[in-house]
Amino acid sequence: MSALWPVMYKEFLHIVRDQRSLLAILALPLLQLLLFGYAISFDISYIDLAVADQDHTQASRALVQALTADGTVRVVQRVDGDVALGRALDDGRARLGLLIPPDYAADLASGQDVPVQLLVDGTDATFAGQALQQVAGSLQTRIGRDVQTMLRTHGRPGDPPGLVTRPRVLFNESLDSHWFIIPGLIAVIVSMLAAMVTSQCIAREYEQGTIEQILVSPISGPAMMLGKLVPYVGIGVIQVVSVTLASRFLFGVPIRGSLWLLSIGTLLYLVGSMAFGLMISALLKSQQVAMQVSLIATMLPSLLLSGFIFPISNMPLALQGLSYVVAARYYIVIARGLFLKGVGLAALWPQFVAMVIYAAVLVLAAISRFRRSV
């Protein structure tokens, strides 16, 4: 700590005194064009469906087959009841859930209303609205046809009763798009600003000629990097708190999960993003170039390859593979899960493991890069 305090105090003085402006580079429009052109798609490629068939009859199986006939809707899991169906939506294994009651075939045969329940993950309001329209319409058409067939088979005159569909949207009941966008926007802002503010630290020492003083001082490389990292993490925490409060009180986005889990995930995300900026700074040794590179390397991937707005499943396979190294992909799942779903560590532990690896690898890489650069 005796070695850390001087470095931390020096960085704190730079934070409170220095005012920097953000710069763009000529390659930015080209990168935006390439990434937007390949990544954006407003069509629904797949609708992952979990089915709870409590009837187990030919009629119920025919209903599921009719929904999946065109390939857009695909059954990813079959469960026993409504509890397991809700768990599949909580864990993110399915986006829609279909509950077929035990008396489905009997109700069709008697000409009664058929109470089929459709559960929709409303975290993504755009997706939920389109999926509701498509799947509910298919359900209505199919069941109406089945009812007419049953009536003709049993020789009963009269028009069939109307389909009674009672969809229930989970997690985003009003389908407010702000609830979907804001948690992802926090991830983009944190990633971009965190890397940019730390991308100046080591490069500034080289440009101002103070790196020699640091090299002859009894401060080790890890102490140097951690001393520069900690003050910016504190500033990042203040920024995250402010945007979180704004999302709650200005946009009405709820926080249904644990604040402790949200704080831990955010801290890991901050440490990793800022360590990435330090690594860029030690590598390039130029404040201007380091800031430009960090802007491109963080903003564009976190905006386009993280699932912030555009589903990763709609992207080409090459970009889907590239998205696994984008930390915002994991943090957005954590943020939306804790903001909207209120899930716990049991559902989010893979993302937390990824965030721990992300932070640890980048801190070690930043320290190693600094040692080689001097």
Could you give the percent of the chain with pLDDT greater than 90? Answer: 12
Does the structure show a pLDDT above 90 at 355? yes
* pLDDT at position 368 over 60: yes
Domain 47-170 is of which CATH architecture? 3-Layer(aba) Sandwich (3.40)
pLDDT tens profile 290-309: 888 888 888 888 888 888 87
Q: How many CB atoms lie within 10 A of CB 202?
A: 30
Q: 329 or 150: whose pLDDT is higher?
A: 329
Own/partner pairs, 126-134, CB within 8 angstroms, 24+ separation: 126/42, 126/177, 126/180, 127/44, 127/95, 127/311, 128/169, 128/172, 128/175, 129/175, 130/44, 131/44, 131/47, 131/95, 131/96, 132/167, 132/169, 134/44, 134/47, 134/72, 134/73
Query: For position 29, what pLDDT does the model report?
Result: 46
Categorize the per-residue pLDDT at 217 as very low, low, confident or very high, splitting at 50, 70 and 90: low
Residues 164-184 pLDDT 10s: 566 778 888 777 777 888 888
- Report the DSSP pairing between strands 164-165 and 96-100: unpaired
Who has greater pLDDT, 279 or 354? 354
DSSP per-residue letters across 105-170: HHHHHHT---EEEEEEETTSHHHHHHHHHHHHHHHHHHHHHHHHHHHHHTT--SPPPPPEE--EEE
| Cα(30)–Cα(305) distance, integer angstroms | 16
Tokens of 49: 């469906």
A 10 A CB-CB count for 2 gives 8
Q: How confident is the model at residue 27 (pLDDT cuts 50, 70, 90)?
A: very low
**CA–CA dist 182, 338 (Å, integer):** 13
Residue type, 61: R
Ranges of each domain in the chain: 4-39+176-373, 47-170
Question: 3-class SS at 53?
Answer: strand
**Burial of 213 from C-beta contacts in 10 A (0-12 / 13-18 / 19+):** exposed
The one-letter code for the residue type at 69 is A
Per-residue pLDDT tens for 60-87? 888 888 888 777 788 899 988 888 888 8
pLDDT in tens, 247-256: 888 888 888 9
- What are phi and psi for residue 282, nearest 5 degrees? -70, -30
Q: DSSP class of residue 99?
A: E
The answer to whether 273 and 303 are in contact (CB under 8 A) is: no
Q: Please report, rounded to a whole number, the percentage of residues in the chain having pLDDT higher than 70.
A: 76
SS3 for 42?
A: coil
The answer to whether the CB of 237 falls within 8 A of the CB of 271 is no
Which of 172-186, 210-224, 352-366 holds the top average pLDDT? 352-366
pLDDT for 41 beyond 70: no
Is the pLDDT assigned to residue 23 strictly greater than 50?
no
112 half-sphere exposure, CB direction, 13 A CA radius:
9
**Residue 103 phi, psi (nearest 5):** -100, 25
pLDDT per position as a tens digit, 120-166: 888 877 777 777 777 776 776 666 565 556 555 555 544 445 555 66
Higher pLDDT, 101 or 370: 101
